[in-house]
Chain A
Amino acid sequence: MAPAPYLVFDGIAKYFGDLEVVAPTFDLAVKRNEFIVFLGPSGSGKTTLMRMVGGLETPSTGEIRLDGQPIREPDRDRGMVFQSYSSFPWLTVAENVAYGMKYRLDLTPERKEARLAHYLQLVGLSDFADSYPNKVSGGMRQRIAIARTLAAGSDVLLMDEPFGALDAQRREDLQIELRRIQQQDAKTIIFVTHDVDEAVFLADRIIVFSKRPARMLEEVDIAAALGPDRTLELRDSERFFKLRTEVLKFVRAAAGHDN
C-alpha cells in the first residue's frame, strides 16, 4: 500500500489581478522525504507555487495541505532558502544558524547549544562559527541558510534557486551535500531551478513547467532511474547523461510552448 501523500497541491490556480501566474489547475502529491525539483523557464509561476507552500502567497483557488492540514501562513515547519539575502549580515555564522531556534520555546538553552553545534558541523561551518557572513564565501552563506532551516526544525525545505549565484565547483559540492543532508535528516524538499543538470542530479522527481502561466508539462521520475545515492561518479555516467538529455528535450519544448 502506498503511503498517504504528505504535501498535496489541490486544484491550485493563482492570479495577480488580471495576470494569470499559475494556470488552473495545478495538482501534485508529494511523498514524505521526497526531493521535488520544479524545473522551468525563469519568470514562470514555479516560484509562486513554492512560496504558497511557505505560506508567503495564498492560492487564488484550491488549497495546499501539509500532513492533512491546509497551509494558511508561514511557520517554522517550512523553511526557506533564498538565492540572495539568505543570511543576516549583522549576525555571525553561528548566530545566523541559532536564529532558526530563536522563537522555539520547546528547547532549553542547553539543547539549543547542542543543536547549533550539530548543524554547524553538518554543513561544515564549525570553523567559521564566529565569522560574519561577508567574510565567508557565497557557498558558505547558502550553507548558513540551510543549517538555519534545519535548526528551526523545518520538515519541508523550500529552496528558490539557492545555488544560482555560485560558481560551478561550489555548486556541485553543495548539491552533493544537500542530497546527503536530505537523506540523512529525512527532509522533504521543493527546489526551484532552471538548471537541467542540477535538477536531474538532485531530484527524486522533476516537474517540468511551461512558461507563464505555469502548468505542469512533464513529470520525470528520476529516483526510479538513478536511485537515492547521488555521487560525483554518477554525474559522469552514461545513465545520468541520457536522462539529462531527455529532460533537456522537455525543457526545450517548454520554452517553445507559447499560448
Chain B
Amino acid sequence: MTSKATVSTAAMVKREPATTPDANIPRAARRSRNQFFAFRGTLSRRAQILTSICASLFVIAAWELSTRLGWINSLFLPPPSVTVETLWTMITQKHLLWNAGVSTLRVWVAFALSVVMAIPIGIAMSSFRGVGAALEPIVDFIRYLPVPALVPLSIIWFGVGETTKIFLLWLGTFFQLVLLVADDMRRVPQEYVEIAYTVGARPFQMLKDVAFRAMLPNLFDNLRITLGWCWTYLIIAEIVAADNGLGFVIWAARRYMNTSEVMAGVVTIGLIGLLTDQILRLIHKRYFRYL
C-alpha cells in the first residue's frame, strides 16, 4: 500500500511540482525517505554511492568483528585487517602484482579470442536459419559440459603450458557467449532491418550499419558479465597447471594452511573484478549516451 502511494506521488511531483497536496513534512525529505524503498523509485547519485559504501563497510565490519569476538577462528577466516596486511607484504615481497598481471593477461587473451569468434558466429546463427540449425545442438551440448571435467583431456591435448589455460577459459566462455550474441541479434527489431532495406542498403550494409549497431549496447553488457566468468575458469586452470598467476598463489598458500594469503589472493581477484566492472560501466554510459 505505502509503496504504491509513494510511486504515484513521485509521478505527480515530477509532472507538476507546484500542486503537491499535503503536507506537514517537507516534500523533499518525504520523497527521499520514501524513494529509498519505493519499487523502481529514484535515488540521487550521491545517495546511491553512499549506500554502496555503507553496505560494503558494514560487511567488512561484520567480518572483522566475527573473528575479533572469537565467533570464528581466525585461522579459518582471517579478518580484513590481517588480510590487508598480508596483501601488502605479498605485494612488496612476493610479486603479487606480477602474478595478478599474468592472470589478467590470460583472462583477456582468452576472452578476446572468445569474443572475436563468438560475435560473427553468433550473428550468423541468428541471421541464417541453416547456420542456426546446424550449430545450435552442438553449442548446447558443449555449453553444459563442466569445464573442470575437461581439464584432464585438455592437459593431454595441450600439455601444461599457456595453451591449456587459454583453451579452458575459451571453452568456458565461447559457447555461452555465442548464444548470448545470437540472442542479442534476434532481438534487433525487424523494423530497423526493413528501414535499412527500404533506403537501399545491401544485406552486408544492413548488418554493419544497423543490426550490429542496434545490438551493441546489449552485447556490451553481455560481454561485461561473461568476462567475470572467465576468472572462475582461470583459477581452475591455474590450480591444475601453473607456476604463476593468482590461482597458483592461492593454491600454494593453501598447502601451508596460510589462510591469510589465500584470502589476500581472493580479495585481489575481487578487487580486479570490481575495478574492471566499474570501468566497463563507465564506458557503457559514455558510449551509449542515447539510451
Q: Which residues of A approach B to under 8 Å, CB–CB?
A: 54-56, 73-76, 78-80, 82, 84-86, 88-90, 99-104, 132-134, 145, 148-149, 152, 154, 158
**Least CB separation from A133: chain B residue:** B290
Q: A74-B194, A84-B191, A103-B205 given as contacts; is B290 within 8 A of A89 (CB)?
A: yes
Which residues of chain A have C-beta atoms less than 8 A from B214's C-beta?
Answer: 88, 90
**Contact A134–B291 (Cβ < 8 Å):** yes
Question: When each residue 249-291 of chain B gets 1 if its CB lies under 8 Å from chain A and 0 otherwise, what string results?
Answer: 0000000000000000000000000000000000000001111
Known: A80-B195, A90-B216. 18 other contacts (CB 8 A): A56-B194, A56-B197, A84-B189, A85-B189, A85-B191, A88-B195, A88-B210, A88-B213, A89-B290, A90-B213, A99-B195, A102-B199, A102-B201, A103-B199, A104-B200, A132-B289, A149-B198, A152-B199
Report how far A80 CA is from B214 CA in the complex, Å: 18
**Contact B290–A74 (Cβ < 8 Å):** no
Q: State whether the Cβ of B209 lies closer than 8 Å to any Cβ in chain A.
A: yes
Q: Give the distance to chain A from B79, nearest Cβ to Cβ, in Å.
A: 48
Q: Give the distance to chain B from A119, nearest Cβ to Cβ, in Å.
A: 13
**Contact A74–B291 (Cβ < 8 Å):** no
User: Which 6 pairs show the lowest CB-CB distances between chains A and B?
Assistant: A85-B191, A76-B200, A74-B197, A132-B290, A85-B189, A103-B200
Report how far A55 CA is from B192 CA in the complex, Å: 15
Interface of A is mostly: loop
**Contact B209–A102 (Cβ < 8 Å):** yes
Which residues of chain B have C-beta atoms less than 8 A from A84's C-beta?
Answer: 189, 191
| A56, A73, A85, A154: residue with the most chain B Cβ atoms closer than 10 Å | A85
Question: When each residue 52-89 of chain B gets 1 if its CB lies under 8 Å from chain A and 0 otherwise, what string results?
Answer: 00000000000000000000000000000000000000
Q: What are 14 A-B pairs with beta-carbon distances under 8 A?
A: A55-B197, A79-B198, A84-B189, A85-B192, A86-B191, A88-B192, A88-B214, A89-B290, A90-B213, A90-B290, A99-B195, A100-B199, A103-B202, A154-B198
Q: Give the distance to chain B from A16, nearest Cβ to Cβ, in Å.
A: 15
Report how far A145 CA is from B198 CA in the complex, Å: 12
Which residues of chain A have C-beta atoms less than 8 A from B201's C-beta?
Answer: 102-103
Report how far A85 CA is from B190 CA in the complex, Å: 9
Which residues of chain B have C-beta atoms less than 8 A from A79's C-beta?
Answer: 198-199
A78's contact among B195, B198, B216, B290, by CB below 8 Å, is which? B198
**Contact A80–B205 (Cβ < 8 Å):** no
Question: When each residue 174-210 of chain B gets 1 if its CB lies under 8 Å from chain A and 0 otherwise, what string results?
Answer: 0000000000000001011011011111100100011
Report how far A80 CA is from B198 CA in the complex, Å: 7
| A56, A90, A104: residue with the most chain B Cβ atoms closer than 10 Å | A90
**Least CB separation from B195: chain A residue:** A80
Report how far A205 CA is from B99 CA in the complex, Å: 76
**Contact A89–B194 (Cβ < 8 Å):** no
Report how far A88 CA is from B214 CA in the complex, Å: 8
> Using a CB-CB cutoff of 8 Å, which residues 144-166 of chain B contact chain A?
none
